[in-house]
Amino acid sequence: MIQPEDRPDRQIGRHEVKETTCYMCACRCGIRVHLRDGEVRHIEGNPNHPLNEGVLCAKGSSGIMKQYSPARITQPLLRRADGERGQSAFEPISWERAFGIIEERLSKIRGEDPKKFALFTGRDQMQALTGLFAKQFGTPNYAAHGGFCSVNMAAGMIYTIGGSFWEFGGPDLERAKLFVMIGTAEDHHSNPLKKELARFKRAGGRFVSINPIRTGYSAIADEWVPIKPGTDGALLLAFIHEIIKHGLFDREFLVRYTNAAELVIQDESRDDHGLFKRFEMHIEEGCFDPQNKLWWDRELDKPISTHTEGVDPYLLGEFTLEDGTPLKPAFQLLKERVELYTPEWAERITGIPAATIRRLAHEMGVTARDQKIKLPIRWTDCWDKEHDSVTGNPVAFHAMRGLAAHSNGFQSIRALGILMSILGTIDRPGGFRHKAPFPRPIPPCPKPPNSPEGVKPNTPLDGMPLGWPAKPDDLFVDEQGEPVRLDKAFSWEYPLSVHGLMHNAITNAWRGDPYPIDTLLLFMANMAWNSSMNTVHVREMLTDKEENGDYKIPFIIVCDAFQSETIAFADLVLPDTTYLERHDAMSMLDRPISEFDGPVDSVRIPVVKPTGECKPFQDVLIEIGSRLKLPAFVDERGQRKFRDYPDFITNYETSPGSGIGFLAGWRGAAGEKFLKGEPNPRQWEMYQKNGCVYHHKLPRSYQYMRNWNQGYLQWARTHGMTRYAEPITLHIYSEPLQKFRLAAQGKGPGKKPPERLRKRVETHFDPLPFYSETLLAKLVDTHAYPLNALTQRPMAMYHSWDSQNAWLRQIHTHNYLFVNPRLGQQQGFDDGDWVWIESPTHKVRCMCRFSEAVEPGTVWTWNAIGKASGAWGLSPKANESQQGFLLNHVIPEELPPCEAGEHLSNSDPVTGQAAWFDVRVKVYKADAAEPAQSWPQFDGHKAVPGQQTRFRKWQSYVAGMFRKSAGIG
Amino acid sequence: MTQLALVIDLNVCVGCHACVTSCKQWNSSGWAGPMPDRNPYDADPSGVFFNRVQTFEIGTYPNTETLHFPKSCLHCEEPPCVPVCPTGASYKREDNGVVLVDYDKCIGCKYCSWACPYGVREFDEKNKVMKKCTLCIDRITDLTLPEAERKPACVLSCPTSARLFGDVHDADSEVSLAIRERGGYQLQPEWGTQPSNHYLPRRKVRIHIHEDELVRSDNPLVKEDLPVLPQDVDTLDDVAW
């Protein structure tokens, strides 16, 4: 036997170490990839990386099995002329031919009607490039997956506090004393949250988890508070009720940093009812929330300009101007709103005892009030007042899809933002802290086009494909008030759909509503499986034909590294690279990996050569953009400007000479500048030397109170991060929402919703948060379908897009439906039995497992473990397809017809967020005579040319020998 | 004598399985590898893992605890797997107390796995030898590695730092301190195996608020000059004769 110390590992074969950034999920940890003879030996966390500080999760440590996966697609593929869509009938073609097909098709579309080209991507951390491409092409039909993921979380928080969770900001667990996690399972921000949770608990912090299910992070909570799905808004409003009732709010914070004391016009007969009373003042063009509002001065008993030095305004009461205008402070309106939202009221809705609600509210209020932190940091606010310390109220929150994926999610999340604000925790130690480029104005500046004129042949889009409407006139609608976008984003159906509605793109394109399209390009989006609701029908739409035999969606291009379920439905397949094979930029123009203490961005640099003929999607876009002569990609003579993606990243500027490019670090000719500066030809090298990450630490005085921190805001403006240095006042009361409501009431000039949508907009665009049942619950028979059905992803697969991974699939080989044993007793089935889960639209047969860690009115499963037979390089007999199942089949992508429309998306009426978790179901035992196999089953998924499936009995991974032994070419 | 071991903090383990796969990737290509996978892409995949995480539910709804429990060889001080081995393949290193298997001597008879009360031995069906956690012996004894990296892969990767590594015989070590101060315990000590690995139990933090602490004298509602008494209602003074 060779003794372990006899032969150091690094001396076996040729050893190399390369640093890059993980992409086994969207968390983006820094990694060190060790190679032996050019094969991956092991992947470890980079200890010098600010995001993960050396740790790495189960997915990150399984990257080897992704790299050498038998699901890899290795050649461009064209559907054979004799093959039908959905049957995996492909022939390999050259890249030149693939580009030729794309160029011919897209140049014709661009010359005629650019919106007939739709580009949807499953990944939303490459939007800086994919969004740029769409805009340059001139199509508004572009979005990433945010619409079906967590747009409510982004929009609800950003329209309230100018920032949100995950990449935008998060709980400061280093200094918090009480941490409340609501509607979060195992997810974002994956490794950093785990790291911080452990530190927080070790430091003696108290952790409360509010969730219908106790798994993952909730397992280590000091208290688990089970809640009925979709009722978070009621709970949060009851917390606010209780905190206001006892005076546990941070008055000083509310007055100075929020619009709580600002006076709102209260006269329903007027067109400006519900808007802030504003006085005349010079307003910077495009500034949405200028400072020309009023407080009521208690000393003089009259209105006075907000933030007048020495004035202490009323937060409560009602007042009248000399001209008779009745006014109330926003906080008075909030207090009135929550008057009836008592803990007893919330108990009936949420299932949480009133005494628990009251106790938790008191814990939050008393901790925030009595355990204040004062850091000796001098800073100056926007009103020139100097502060010699930064105060923190150490109560932190984190929330994610549990709140977001409901049709009442936007208003629930507004309530959360308001709760965090009245406790005085925004961008303060121990509370919530922003991450650059946030905070941004409420709402942020970019806007979509606001009329069909924004789309013209051979012309870039006039506006951003995705933006932040501040008022009805910002909506992207035609003369009749109807949508211009395929997914109907920014229309009156979903006015603030800031991430688009990818989940409705296929249904709308199939129906030709609002219009048919020609070409659909999907990047890394499994729309024929776990990324669609109502998947059975969506798959039918992808193959459905017109009477003349043409497909209803004429041409589908899919770019992916793996044989996902969607590949079978492509006409053209483009093989993408893995994260270890390509360059990437996690850009400040998109969703970077910033820390609380300053901007951070990062890159990927290839550590191994691309497999087969795989080509990074970014290079594909630059190639197509150059061939189509899109202005950003060619010079004035129409000549190609960028050799490839790395060259593009180095040299692209948002406008000539702007100094703003994709990467913020080492700008300037010699790399001496940051955030803004001319292109640096050696920028990639400098990132590589620094572990592929750039971290700019702000001075301590710029690290807190950034919504109102004069120094920070001026710094942000100077460095091109924000357009204004105006204070970002928190929106306890949302004037932008009220503007949409007024339009729905027919008031004032400007755009008005179509008649059918007036009531819907008036109801949901409430300037103050409110609770109502989910849309679906109001439209289906909840007696016949009494249960809520949820999905979560397990930590070992969270945000990863493959469970074909040979190691990870042994951890979760197939999924079960988890049910409380009480349900089994009622329905007469036992642990492990085959059951049917049925919604009004579809049903699924699956295996159940009893769990005491789920609220009895809820059933749930791990998402995206179930696969279609034959997909992902797995054997058709794999457990994923035979015992595993996809819950999406029972989730409707549209609401039943109602007065607001025949085909409304099953989404939040404010943001278009897919309401995955609104689905109502019943569960009953499957007949003993039925096969012990999940249902529905699908055929048509077969290995494609160039894919090397490996169904051998044994596989042993040993770096340096594996590809040869496995026959990987 | 040095006794290296893991101390696993159940108070912070979220069951993410980072330890499971970081172990697999390190050891499959390492001294203790390979770690073959049976049916890697077919039905019922089942491979060798030195470290597994089990999840239990304790109690009944709503008083349910979900416990994630990482489990690997406990490197017992009195390992029952060693004396039963007919070939001497199963042994305990004298210098650091790590229990190992010499694959060259192992005949795959599985006596050791029958003897182990913790079920942490892993039989490699392909190569017909018994395998198990080595505490990444080829990392922790590799003097060419920087000292900070001479730790088991699972310890380095663990996102919650739930896995402490060190010498449980050294009273001043981080692991001994954790066992002493935080109630570290052994699994099934009644077997007399003296497992070296320890577990730290769950702890709960509660907040206690006295009723009279709820409202403070500087309550901000006072600032709002709210009418304290009802104005236009009768008092006894108005109506009494």
Interface of A with B in 188-207 (CB under 8 A): 190-191, 194-195, 197-198, 201-202, 204-207
Predicted confidence at residue A189, as pLDDT, reads 81
- CA-closest candidate to residue A884, choices A801, A954, A804: A804
Lowest mean pLDDT among A24-28, A251-255, A814-818: A24-28
Burial class (CB in 10 A: 0-12, 13-18, 19+), A260: buried
Q: Is A123's pLDDT higher than 90?
A: no
User: How confident is the model over A435-464, as a mean pLDDT?
Assistant: 96
Nearest CA in chain B to A316: B224
Minimal C-alpha gap between B193 and chain A (Å): 26
Is residue A867's pLDDT more than 70?
Answer: yes
Judged by CB atoms within 8 Å, which residues 756-795 of A form the interface with B?
A: 795
The domains found in chain B, sorted by start residue, are 4-200 (3.30.70.20)
Q: Residue A801: is its pLDDT beyond 80?
A: no
Please give the pLDDT value at position A1: 87
Question: What pLDDT score was predicted for residue A104?
Answer: 98
Q: How far apart are CA A742 and CA A744, in angstroms?
A: 5
What's the pLDDT band for A185 if we cut at 50, 70, 90? confident
Overall average pLDDT of the A732-736 stretch: 98
Dmax (CA) for chain A in angstroms is: 96
Tens of pLDDT, residues A127-141:
899 999 999 999 999
A vs B: CB pairs below 8 A: 275
* Contact flag B14-A856 (C-beta cutoff 8 Å): no
B100 - beta bridge partners?
Answer: B91
What would the pLDDT profile of A652-673 be if each residue is shown by its tens digit? 999 999 999 999 999 999 999 9
pLDDT tens figures, A474-495: 999 999 999 999 999 999 999 9
| pLDDT above 70 coverage of chain B, percent | 98
A187-191, A693-697, A771-775: segment of lowest average pLDDT: A187-191
What number is the average pLDDT over the span A696-720? 96
CB < 8 Å to B181, chain A = none
Residue B236 scores a pLDDT above 90: no
Looking at the complex, report in whole angstroms how far the Cα of residue A554 sits from the nearest Cα belonging to chain B. Answer: 34
Contact between chains at A194 and B16 (C-beta distance less than 8 A): yes
Instruction: Give the distance from residue A41's alpha carbon to the nearest chain B alpha carbon, in angstroms.
Output: 7
Peptide bond preceding A483: is omega within 30 degrees of 0, i.e. cis?
no
3-state class (DSSP) for residue A795: helix
Angle CA A175–A176–A177, to nearest 5: 120
pLDDT at residue A289, as a whole number: 78
Residue B228 has pLDDT above 70, yes or no: no
pTM, rounded to two decimals: 0.97
Q: Where are the alpha helices (DSSP H) in A593-663?
A: 617-627, 645-651
* pLDDT (mean) for A802-823: 94
Contact between A401 and A563 under an 8 Å Cβ cutoff? The reply is: no
- Specify whether the CB–CB gap between B85 and B129 falls below 8 A: no
- Confidence class for position A969, pLDDT limits 50, 70, 90: low
CA distance A599 to A436: 5
pLDDT tens sequence across B146-177: 999 999 999 999 999 999 999 999 999 999 99
Provide the pLDDT confidence category of residue B231 given band limits of 50, 70 and 90.
Answer: low
Other C-beta atoms closer than 10 Å to the C-beta of A178 total: 26
**Residue A640 pLDDT > 90, yes or no?**
yes
Scanning the structure block, which residue is given the tokens 């007036």? A758
Q: What is the ipTM of this complex?
A: 0.96
pLDDT at A956 over 80: yes
Q: Which amino acid is at A617?
A: F
Position A209 scores a pLDDT of: 97
Decide if A879 and B202 are in contact by the 8 Å CB cutoff: no
Q: What is the pLDDT of residues A149-163, one digit of tens each?
A: 899 999 999 999 999
Q: Which domains does chain A have, with CATH numbers?
A: 4-56 (3.30.200.210), 162-264+331-437+727-733 (3.40.228.10), 776-925 (2.40.40.20)
Asked if residue A871 lies in contact with residue A535, where contact means CB atoms within 8 angstroms, the answer is no
Identity of the residue in A178, A216, A956 whose CB atom sits nearest the CB atom of B126: A956
Measured in angstroms, the CA of A21 and the nearest CA of chain B are apart by: 15
Of residues B24, B65, B222, nearest to A807 (C-beta): B24
Give the separation between CA A884 and CA A797, rounded to whole angstroms.
Answer: 15
Task: Report whether A632 contacts A625 (CB < 8 A).
Answer: yes
Average pLDDT value for chain B: 95
Minimum distance, in Å, between the CA of residue A958 and any CA atom of chain B: 4
> Under an 8 A CB cutoff, do B31 and A4 touch?
yes
How far is residue A40's CA from residue A59's CA, in Å, rounded to a whole number? 15
Burial A937-968 (b: 16+ CB within 10 A, else e): ebebbbbbebbbbbeeeebbbbbbbbbeebeb
Q: Report cis status (omega within 30 of 0) of the bond before A783.
A: no
The residue among B213 and A125 whose pLDDT is bigger is B213
Q: What average pLDDT is seen over chain A?
A: 96
Quote the minimal CA–CA distance from B6 to chain A in Å: 17
pLDDT for A471 beyond 90: yes
Q: Both ends of chain B: CA-CA distance in Å?
A: 96
Enumerate the β-bridge partners of residue A30. Answer: A21
- pLDDT tens for each residue of A684-698: 999 999 999 999 999
Q: Residue A281: its pLDDT value, please?
A: 76
pLDDT at B128 over 70: yes
Q: What is the pLDDT of residue A422?
A: 98
- Cβ within 8 Å, pair A362-B220: no
Residue A283 burial class via C-beta count within 10 angstroms: exposed 0-12, middle 13-18, buried 19 and up: middle
pLDDT at A291 over 90: no
- Chain B residues near residue A959 by CB distance under 8 angstroms: 29
Determine contact, residues A337/A770, Cβ cutoff 8 Å.
Answer: yes
- What pLDDT is recorded for position A322? 94
CA atoms within 13 A on the CB side of A640: 14
What value does the mean pLDDT take over residues A220-229?
Answer: 98
Chain B residues with beta carbon closer than 8 angstroms to that of A358: none
Instruction: Check A214 against B216: CB less than 8 A apart.
Output: no
From chain B, the residues in CB contact with A204 under 8 A are 205
Which residues from B are below 8 Å from A809, CB to CB?
45
Asked if A806 and B34 come within 8 Å (Cβ–Cβ), the reply is no
A52: chain B residues, CB-CB within 8 Å? 159
The pLDDT confidence band at residue A286, using thresholds 50, 70 and 90, is low
Share of chain A above pLDDT 70, in %: 99
How many Å lie between the alpha carbon of B58 and the closest alpha carbon of chain A?
Answer: 8
- 8 A C-beta contact, residue B72 and residue B99: no
Average pLDDT over residues A520-547: 96
- A785 has pLDDT over 90: yes
Closest CA relative to residue A601, chosen from A512, A674, A495: A674
**B9: which chain A residues are within 8 Å (Cβ-Cβ)?**
198
Nearest CA in chain B to A31: B157
